Structure 1
Amino acid sequence: MDSMTSKHYLRSIEFMHDNHACVNQFPFTLPAFLSLDYLDFHPQVTFIIGENGTGKSTLLEAIAIAAGFNPEGGTRNFTFYSKDSHSQLHEHIRLIRGHKKPKDGFFLRAESFYNFATQVDELKVAHSYGGRSLHEQSHGEAFFSTFMNRFQGNGLYILDEPEAALSPMRQMAMISRIHDLVRQQSQFIIATHSPIIIGYPNATILQITEKGIESVAYEQTEHYAVMKEFINNHQRMLAILLAD
């Protein structure tokens, strides 16, 4: 067992194609899942990126549910429910875990954060999230406060589009906090569109396209290329975008 493997909480996932009872239904019809057998994760940070509709949030949600988290977010102790909208993909994957078990864990997703914040109030556990009701803060403040205060280290943390609520400055602060938690033996799996967040070094970037899923370097991502082109040549880009 090498030192990198020993640090994993979640080493990989295996797709059980022989168990696809709903093979003609979403999400099994998505190109990314048609012939995928397994995915390996970095022991520290793995990013899942892709265009809207390619299945990255669906995949992340399935991983989180299979790992024991509530579909709408929170720790493994959260069991609140508002709407059954998740796919059945989690029933058709198998988690390959590492030798260590995480002491902490959290599934943080922008889509259902309001429902999660309501549950925090109902359980009267705001003290673990910065001391103020999350509903008494802006969406971005509450999201960032959860990330900064509740994540304690030695944990498996699954984040779905965290940039949705955060300014560019807060996204950079998130990178710093991710690094602190990585040094505290944490593992992250993050679905994101942010060219800032995926800039975290020495991470695995899994890019979902119509051809499937592949590992790419930061500079090879469309996120990086588009943002670089726009910033360096924004007048020309705007002229193209706004042309009659």
Structure 2
Amino acid sequence: MTERGDRLDDDRPVRRVRAYQDAPWDPDVWPATIPAVAQVLLEGLELASGVTFLVGENGSGKSTLVEGIATAYGLPAEGGSNQGSHVTRASESPLGEWLLVERSPTAARWGFFLRAETMHGYYTYLEALGGPDAVLHSLSHGESFNELLQTKLNHPQFVAGLIVLDEPEAALSFESTLRWLANLNEMVKRGTQVLCATHSPILASLPGARLLETGEWGIRESTWEDLEIVRHWKFYLSDPQRYLRHLL
């Protein structure tokens, strides 16, 4: 298997996403009112090989985008792989119905969507199926995410395809986040394409990752040092009282 810098563009499970020509989206109706979503609908979004991080404030559209791209790819809106699905309560936006995924013809079709807020329902679905995955409900939140990392996301059986992650750091300690960072690097070397929405400056520090920052400007490419979350964390950790005296 070639390294990430040598991979051919034709190996990408997703080369680009764009709106269908006749997609019935209205620029004055959510989610098209979110600048980052509107930009993708108007201009499309190319996904590089390797890892792409969407980073931004709450409400900036990053989770809406990863959910829409995941469902347009054929993944369950509440999480899981394209080899099985479950529904508890539909809450996804219509974005996935508006998006066309441009695939590389020779790329792997397998995929997995880890959506932090709905994983309890996914574990219940797996428990009903029986088998080794039924154990996930008995683990802590972070332990279950780490188990998924080993058994689904970075398992040798699934060496390629598209992995979509929506704020996986929600369940992770500092050490577990570092573990995920190392595993993401291994997954990329094996040929996996990853799209991840995150608030974590640790995950976003992955060498070679593409960083897209969402906000009132829409989507802009950034470096790790220039991300707003990185600047805020640096300032806070260097002097917490500078923030706390305005809050408490």
Go from structure 1 to structure 2 and tell me whether the alpha carbon gap of 1:159 and 1:116 turns closer, same or farther (over 3 Å shift): same
TM-score of the superposed pair, with normalisation by structure 1: 0.90
Amino acid at match of 2:136: L
Asked if structure 1 preserves the Cα contact closer than 8 Å seen for 2:110 and 2:160, the reply is yes
Partner of 1:138: 140
SS in 2 for 1:171: helix
What is the SS of the residue equivalent to 1:156?
A: strand
What residue is the counterpart of 1:147 in the other structure? 149
User: 2:30: which partner in 1?
Assistant: 26
Which of these residues, 7, 10, 19, is aligned with residue 11 of structure 2? Answer: 7
* Cα distance between partner residues in 2 of 1:40 and 1:182: 17
* Cα deviation code 1:92-150 (max 9, x no counterpart): 1111212432264211110100000001111113x2x4xx6111111111121111221
- Counterpart of 1:232? 238
Alignment of 1:157-196 (within 5 A): 157-196=163-202
Alignment of 1:35-114 (within 5 A): 35=39, 36-102=42-108, 104-114=110-120
Distance in structure 2 (CA, Å) of the matches to 1:222 and 1:205: 12
Q: 1:17 to 1:220 in 2, by over 3 A?
A: farther
The separation in 2 between residues aligned to 1:22 and 1:116, in whole angstroms, is: 32
How many residue pairs get aligned? The number is 237
Aligned to 2:126: 120
**How much has 1:40 moved relative to structure 2?**
1.4
Give, in angstroms, the shift of residue 240 of structure 1.
4.2
In the aligned structure 2, how far is the partner of 1:184 from the partner of 1:103?
15
Compute the displacement of 1:194 (Å). Answer: 0.6
RMSD across aligned positions (CA) = 1.8
- State whether residues 16 and 37 of structure 1, in contact with CA within 8 Å, keep that contact through their aligned partners in structure 2: no
User: Following TM superposition, by how much is the alpha carbon of 1:212 offset from its aligned partner in structure 2, in angstroms?
Assistant: 0.9
Q: Secondary structure in 2 aligned to 1:226?
A: helix
Quickly say closer, same or farther: Cα 1:185–1:21, change in 2 above 3 A: closer
Residue 234 of structure 1 deviates from its aligned partner by: 2.8
Give 5+ residue unaligned stretches, structure 2.
1-5
Partner of 1:220: 226
Please give the alpha-carbon distance, in whole angstroms, between the structure 2 residues aligned to 1:150 and 1:34: 32
CA distance in 2: counterparts of 1:103 and 1:78, whole angstroms: 14
Partner amino acid, structure 1, of 2:15: R
State the percentage of identical aligned residues. 35
